[in-house]
A and B are shown apart, each in its own frame.
Chain A
Amino acid sequence: MTVAAGLGYALVALGPAFSLFAGVVARKPFLVLTLLTSTLFWLISLIILSGIWRVFLPIRSGAWWPYAILILTSVAFQEGIRLVFWRLYKKMEEMLDSFADRISKPRLCLTDKMLISLAGGLGHGVAHAVFFCLSLLTPAFGRATFYVEKCSRMPFFLVSAIISLGFLVIHTFSMIIAFNGYDERKRSDQVFVPVVHLIASVMTLINLAPGGCVIGTPLLCVMGAVTLQYCWQMLIC
């Protein structure tokens, strides 16, 4: 239950991301570059956010509203970052397209755009999983485990691994949805992404209630599944 447990938690959180990476992203260097860039973007956004919130931390009171405000601002900020990332991507795409025209090569086709957005989303998701789960996971390789007071049924590491798995799915596929939505100027897609992100984050607030993680974590996974389903629908038609 030491190394095995730690590896298991890490794989719960990052396994799908790893298989996506090995299967899709790693074959094309450009996608790897995109992934790294978006990971860096997410990290910078996290640093800025935490710089803002540093003043108010740590929150000592047991009230839930500071967390609600924190989540609201964070989600808003990250959606803003997503917009910035989109702008940047747009510029790069124009450059690449003009370059492709000059050397008379085919432009980026739809699949390539999808792949790029997948890589970007995967970068966000991986960054989330790494910083919120994997970096706290080192004690799990030791001989004990850790329970949070509010959630006495499941080990903390398992909960955080599952939560970051959910967020990884949400981040990855909502990036595809968002890019597609921006590209085709579909209002519903553009709205869907922040709403899903917000709902998923609010669901983690349930964890603050005693024993809430038994409810909140599955709900989060449901949110991830909903995102996947939406993305699938969008791609089908």
Chain B
Amino acid sequence: MALVVLLISLLAPPSAPGSAAAAAQPPPPVTAATLVYLESPTDTPGQKLVGALLDAAVFVALVAVVTFVLVALYYYRCTGFLKNYMRFSAFFVLFSMGGAIAAAVLRRLGAPLDAATALVLLFNASAVGVLSVFASAVPIVVRQGYMVALAVIVAAWLSRLPEWTTWVMLIALALYDLVAVLAPRGPLRMLVELASSRDDELPALVYESRPTVGPASGSSSYASAMGSVEMQPVADPGRSGGNQYDRVEQEDDSSRAVVEMRDVGGSRSSIRERNLEREAPMAVSVSGHSSNQGGSSQHAVIQIEQHEEGETVPLVSAASANNAAPNEEHRESSSSDSGMEFEMFESTRGIKLGLGDFIFYSVLVGRAAMYDLMTVYACYLAIIAGLGCTLILLSICKHALPALPISILLGVTFYFLTRLLMEPFVVGSSTNLVMF
């Protein structure tokens, strides 16, 4: 729900104490992304580039391996194992990484809190988080809150990586996302297709961004939306003939992206529009080998890399043109305006977008925030534009699409353009109070 804006605002406080803490403690965190090469400020750009490339390669390889393992597990129906896995890892993310970040924030704010209280609070919060993530009875707001919290925590951890590595890793992950989703034997594609053919949920944490206003109650509609994602557009293309206009609308305040797909179908001329809710499935899993129990940073590492893999899962998958119950038309009274002729109808069919994508968007924005506020705005705009492009593309070709590449590449481009070109210009002219 609160997309990047909330993430930025939440991310900004952790990033500041994070850098301060990193400055205070000489050894920077050793994570999976920096296994091969650890950037130090004295290196030459060439060294940094090579090291960052190596890091990114290792990282992506790890992600790919873990994804394949996940797919294999899912293929052999070890769903219970996967679920428990994810529960454990969600707990772990909330408890250890969230605890570390909360401690940093507390230290930064100078707020005293004794250890016992902090532990109890943290434990309760994480326990509720784990329950809410998987139980369907929990109010949706709570679940959304925990999903956002998870994303923020992971993004805050990831933004502690050294600078060059972050950039190269972002680009490499975007490319990997592209391959994994679009290649015929790509792991994520296989995962999505498997899930849709079995007609059950993806083994993933799911972020439902919008309480479904539709007739179906939250949980069941969610399941149905999850289940039949990919099959239907192919199922009967005849019915979905006609024109489809899509508009991508982004409501900024709620940061919700709404795609309406309208079919003027041949069979019935009524418009069905769906206000697609975004759901972000995210698979979080901790790899089993916990050989290094002692070092908490080591743990963080493992988790991080898993996240990514989860996060690449969540490509945007297309909502099918034909719904199971296509006639349920719902006018969403709040956003349909009388003056313009677009009404929005709410339907239960959804777009899925990975929570992990949000993580990487916010890593990008967080990294931009370490430079200047101007780059943050530029990146934010670029990411939104990229999302819009992805959604439009999604409506054209109706299968799962990776959500990372366009946004990330646009964001990185805008970041460097802003930093190299625009900033001296704007600062130069506006410190002279010359504007136009």
Indicate whether A and B interact: yes
Q: Which residues of A contact B377 (CB under 8 A)?
A: 43, 130-131, 134-135
Question: How far apart are B338's CB and chain A's nearest CB, in angstroms?
Answer: 10
Answer yes or no: A160 CB below 8 A from chain B CBs. Answer: yes
Question: How far apart are A234's CB and chain B's nearest CB, in angstroms?
Answer: 20
Answer yes or no: A106 CB below 8 A from chain B CBs. Answer: yes
The residue on A at minimum CB distance from B249 is: A29
Q: Given A102-B264, A148-B431, A148-B433, is A33 in contact with B248 using a C-beta cutoff of 8 Å?
A: yes
Interface window among B80-88, B96-104, B421-429? B421-429
Q: Which residues of B contact A29 (CB under 8 A)?
A: 249-251, 258, 335, 344
Question: How far apart are A172's CB and chain B's nearest CB, in angstroms?
Answer: 15
Interface window among A83-91, A177-185, A204-212, A223-231? A204-212
Q: Which residues of A contact B428 (CB under 8 A)?
A: 57-59
Q: Given A29-B250, A36-B384, A135-B374, is A50 in contact with B434 using a C-beta cutoff of 8 Å?
A: no
The residue on B at minimum CB distance from A111 is: B339
Give a binary string over B394-436; 1 marks a CB under 8 Å from any A CB, 0 the rest.
0000000000000000000010011011101111111111111
The residue on B at minimum CB distance from A25 is: B252
Give a binary string over A200-222; 1 marks a CB under 8 Å from any B CB, 0 the rest.
11001101100001001000000
Question: Interface range on chain A: under 10, 10 to 19, 20 to 34, or 35 or more?
Answer: 35 or more
Q: Which residues of A contact B425 (CB under 8 A)?
A: 46, 49-50, 53-54, 57
A47 touches B435 (CB 8 A): no
Give the distance in Å from the alpha carbon of A199 to the alpha carbon of B337 in the complex: 38
A43 touches B340 (CB 8 A): no
The residue on A at minimum CB distance from B269 is: A103
Give the distance in Å from the alpha carbon of A235 to the alpha carbon of B325 in the complex: 46
Residues of B within 8 A of A (CB): 245, 247-253, 258, 264, 269, 271, 335, 337, 339-342, 344, 372-374, 377-378, 381-382, 384-385, 388, 414, 417-418, 420-422, 424-436
The residue on B at minimum CB distance from A74 is: B436
Give a binary string over A132-153; 1 marks a CB under 8 Å from any B CB, 0 the rest.
1111111000000000101100
Counting chain B CB atoms within 10 Å of each CB, the highest count among A30, A50, A57 belongs to A50
B252 touches A47 (CB 8 A): no
Question: How far apart are B219's CB and chain A's nearest CB, in angstroms?
Answer: 26
Q: Which residues of A contact B427 (CB under 8 A)?
A: 136
The contact of B250 among A33, A108, A167, A213, by CB within 8 Å, is A33
Answer yes or no: A169 CB below 8 A from chain B CBs. Answer: no
Question: How far apart are B295's CB and chain A's nearest CB, in angstroms?
Answer: 36
B433 touches A151 (CB 8 A): yes
The residue on B at minimum CB distance from A70 is: B429
Question: How far apart are B403's CB and chain A's nearest CB, in angstroms?
Answer: 17
B421 touches A43 (CB 8 A): no
B373 touches A135 (CB 8 A): yes
Counting chain B CB atoms within 10 Å of each CB, the highest count among A109, A204, A216 belongs to A204
Answer yes or no: A174 CB below 8 A from chain B CBs. Answer: no
Give the distance in Å from the alpha carbon of A54 to the alpha carbon of B420 in the complex: 9
Give the distance in Å from the alpha carbon of A57 to the alpha carbon of B417 in the complex: 15
Answer yes or no: A12 CB below 8 A from chain B CBs. Answer: no
Q: Which residues of B contact A148 (CB under 8 A)?
A: 431-433
The contact of A201 among B251, B374, B430, B435, by CB within 8 Å, is B435
Answer yes or no: A187 CB below 8 A from chain B CBs. Answer: no
Q: Which residues of B contact A26 (CB under 8 A)?
A: 251-253
Answer yes or no: A23 CB below 8 A from chain B CBs. Answer: no
Question: How far apart are B223's CB and chain A's nearest CB, in angstroms?
Answer: 27
B247 touches A208 (CB 8 A): no
The contact of B433 among A50, A70, A108, A163, by CB within 8 Å, is A163
Answer yes or no: A112 CB below 8 A from chain B CBs. Answer: yes
Question: How far apart are A114's CB and chain B's nearest CB, in angstroms?
Answer: 10
Q: Given A27-B337, A132-B426, is A204 in contact with B436 using a C-beta cutoff of 8 Å?
A: yes
Q: Which residues of B contact A54 (CB under 8 A)?
A: 420-421, 424-425
The residue on A at minimum CB distance from B275 is: A29
Q: Given A36-B252, A58-B428, A99-B245, is A160 in contact with B434 using a C-beta cutoff of 8 Å?
A: no
Give the distance in Å from the alpha carbon of A96 to the alpha carbon of B422 in the complex: 35
A30 touches B373 (CB 8 A): no
Answer yes or no: A117 CB below 8 A from chain B CBs. Answer: no
